[in-house]
Amino acid sequence: MTQISKTKIKPALLVLNDGSVFEGEAIGAGSSEISEPVISKGEVVFHTGLSGYQEIITDPSYAGQIITFTTPHIGNYGTTNLDNEASKVFARGVIVRELARRRSNWRSDDSLDSFLKQNNLAGIAGIDTRRLTRLLRDSGSMPGAFGTASQEELAKVAKSEKGTAGKDLVAQVTTTKSYIYGSGKFTVVAYDFGIKTTMLKCLAEFATVHVVPASTTAEQVTALSPNGIFLSNGPGDPEMVYDAPATIRELLGTGVPLFGICLGHQLLALALGGKTYKLPFGHHGANHPVRNIATKSVEITSQNHNFCVDADSLATKADVTHINLNDNTNEGLRVRGANAFSVQYHPEAGPGPHDSRYLFSQFVEMMDRK
Partner 1 sequence: MPRREDIKSILVLGSGPIVIGQACEFDYSGTQACRVLRQEGYRVILANSNPATIMTDPDFADRTYIEPLTPEFIEKIIEREKPDAVLPTLGGQTALNLAMTLFERGKVGVPGTPELIGANALAINTAEDRGKFKEAMIEIGLSVPRSGIAHTAEQADEILKEIKLPVIIRPAYILGGKGTGIANTLEEFNTVVANGLAASPISEILIETSIVGWKEYELEVMRDKNDNCVVICSIENIDAMGVHTGDSMTVAPAMTLSDIEYQKMRNAAFACIRRVGVETGGSNVQFAVNPINGDQVVIEMNPRVSRSSALASKATGFPIAKIAAKLAVGYTLDEISNDITKMTPASFEPTIDYVVTKIPRWAFEKFPGTSGVLGTQMQSVGEAMAIGRTFTESLQKALRSLEIGRLGLNCDPGEEIFNDSSDAQLLDKIAIPTPDRIFEIGECLRRKISIEEIAKFCKFDTWFLDQMLSIIEEREYLESQSLEELSVSDWKRVKRLGFSDTQLGYLFKRTEHDVRATRLKRGVRPTYKAVDTCSAEFAAQTPYHYSTYEDESELHSSTKQSVIILGSGPNRIGQGIEFDYCCVHASFALRDAGFQTIMLNCNPETVSTDYDTSDKLYFEPLTYEDVMNVIEAEQLISGSNPRIIVGLGGQTPLKLATQLPKELIAGTTSESIDIAEDREKWSALCVSLNILQPPGGTARDVEQAVEIANKIGYPVLVRPSYVLGGRAMQIVHDETHLRKAMQEMSTAGSLGREGGLSAQRPVLIDRFLEDATEVDVDAIRDSTGEVLIGGVMEHVEQAGVHSGDSACTIPPVSLSNAMVLEIEDTVKKISEALKVVGLINVQFAIADKTVYVIEANPRASRTVPFVAKATGVPLAKVASRVMLGSTLEQLRSEGLLKKPVSGSHVSVKEAVLPFNRFADVDTALGPEMRSTGEVMGIDDSFARAFAKSQFAAGTTLPESGLVFVSLNDRDKLGGVDVVKGLTSLGLKIVATVGTADFLKSHGCEVSRVVGKFSERKSGSNTGDDAVKLIESGDIALVINTPRGYGTRNDGEAIRKAANTCRVSVVTTLSAATAAVQGMIEQRNRPFTVMSLQEFHAR
**Smaller CB separation from partner 1, 62 or 186:** 62
Is 262 considered catalytic here? yes
**Smaller CB separation from partner 1, 51 or 362:** 51
Cα angle 153, 26, 6; round to 5: 125
Minimum Å gap between C-beta 109 and partner 1 is 12
The answer to whether the CB of 200 falls within 8 A of the CB of 212 is no
Where do the H-state alpha helices sit in the chain? 53-57, 112-118, 129-139, 151-160, 170-173, 197-204, 218-222, 244-254, 263-271, 358-369
**Smaller CB separation from partner 1, 147 or 352:** 352
Is 308 considered catalytic here? no
Minimum Å gap between C-beta 227 and partner 1 is 28
Please list the residues that pair with 24 across neighbouring strands.
12
Minimum Å gap between C-beta 194 and partner 1 is 19
Question: Which of 265, 283, 288, 346 is the catalytic position?
Answer: 346
Is 348 considered catalytic here? yes
**Smaller CB separation from partner 1, 186 or 360:** 360
Minimum Å gap between C-beta 347 and partner 1 is 13
Pairing of strands 21-28, 228-231: unpaired
Angle between the N-to-C axes of helices 263-271 and 244-254, in degrees from 0 to 180, rounded to the nearest 10: 70
- For 258-297, where are the E strands, in sequence order? 258-261, 275-292
Q: Which residues bind partner 1 (CB under 8 A)?
A: 5-6, 22-23, 46, 48-52, 54-55, 70-73, 76-77, 80, 82-83, 97-98, 100-108, 128-131, 133-134, 137, 285-289, 291, 296-298, 300, 325-326, 349-354
Question: Which of 55, 85, 161, 262 is the catalytic position?
Answer: 262
**Smaller CB separation from partner 1, 239 or 299:** 299
Pairing of strands 330-335, 340-343: antiparallel
Minimum Å gap between C-beta 255 and partner 1 is 35
SS3 37: coil
Residues 64, 54: Cα–Cα separation, whole Å: 17
**Smaller CB separation from partner 1, 234 or 352:** 352
The answer to whether the CB of 43 falls within 8 A of the CB of 139 is no
Minimum Å gap between C-beta 134 and partner 1 is 5
With 0-12 CB in 10 A as exposed, 13-18 as middle and 19+ as buried, what is 4? middle
Enzyme catalytic residues: 262, 346, 348
